[in-house]
Amino acid sequence: MLNGSKPADGGFLLLTPTDREYILSTEPQAEKYIRILVGADEFLNAGERYCLWLINCPPEELRSMPKVLGFVEGVRAFRSSSKKTQTRDLATTPTLFAEIRAPESGNYLLVPKVSSERRTYVPIGFMSHRAITTDRNHMIPSATLYEFGVITSKMHMSWLSALCGRMKSDFNYSSKLVYNTFVWPNATDEQRSDVEKLAQAVLDARAEFPDASLADLYDPLTMPPTLAKAHKALDRYVDRLYSPRGFDSDADRVAMLFERYKEAAL
């Protein structure tokens, strides 16, 4: 589990929808260098934001886009005037994010660092590499639907609730305390396939409500019954990967995970 990519750009590599249209109105060739940006707010509240992602942009093509160059110059000026030596050094590469962790292919899991304690499930994203997440979120590169299914299950949520830190009363997800200590089930290929089907059912249930944000979908008062049903089916199956009889409570899940963690640590 990694942090997302860090801009340290003064906001000049980050684009509003208006910024995007401003660039593309006269520089349509810039479209291939503009990616969807997913920060914490955009992920949970369906906000719309973009970023300039110029990693593979040849210099002659960049020079042909004066509007894009204006944003890049803003990055250079911001970094050059920073009080931090490390940030000033980054002024030599103003086209790039300060820290780049985005996968070049495949999918990744997006795990928000902070999530409301009111939610039964922390919303987890199954994202295309084309979407760039910021360092306000964690990410798990090269993820499959199996990893998504286990991480979004009640088993993992119970572990998260027991071990995570708190920001005020909200969950503050720690990769070291929560993710790195979580004991994964020993699943066969057939069981992994079953989890993937149940995980896809969760994503399909979300997709039934394209106008709803994840904050809407995972509020205990507004969660659609079809989504709740899909999660419960996934929960039951993942529980039985750990114990054929399942579990009566979150406390039972956590007690079992602690025992397995101690066994693994020996």
- The pLDDT score that the predictor gives to residue 171 is 80
Determine the pLDDT at residue 182: 95
- Whether 153 has a pLDDT exceeding 90, the answer reads yes
Give the per-residue pLDDT at 264: 85
Q: What is the pTM of this model?
A: 0.90
137 pLDDT exceeds 90?
Answer: yes
Q: Which of 91, 104, 120 is nearest to 232 (CA)?
A: 120
> Does residue 167 surpass a pLDDT of 70?
no
Alpha-carbon gap, residue 252 to 237, rounded angstroms: 16
- The predicted-structure confidence for 72-109, as pLDDT tens digits, reads as follows 999 999 999 999 999 999 999 999 999 999 999 999 99
pLDDT value at 212 more than 80: yes
pLDDT of residue 75: 98
Asked if residue 213 lies in contact with residue 46, where contact means CB atoms within 8 angstroms, the answer is: yes
Residue 265 pLDDT level (bands cut at 50, 70, 90): confident
CA 51 to chain CA mean position, Å: 16
pLDDT value for 6: 96
- Is residue 51 helix, strand or coil? strand
Question: What percentage of the chain exceeds 90 in pLDDT?
Answer: 88
Q: Determine the average pLDDT of the residues in 24-47.
A: 95
Q: Using 50, 70 and 90 to split pLDDT, how confident is the model at 256?
A: very high
Per the prediction, the chain carries an average pLDDT of 95
- The partner residues of 6 in beta bridges, in order of sequence, read 99
Cβ burial of 220 (10 Å; 0-12, 13-18, 19+) is exposed
Helix or strand or coil: residue 22?
A: helix
Average pLDDT on 161-166 reads: 81
Structure tokens at 75: 């990055």
Dihedral sign for Cα atoms in the order 21, 25, 27, 30: positive
DSSP conformation letters of 186-209? ---HHHHHHHHHHHHHHHHHHHT-
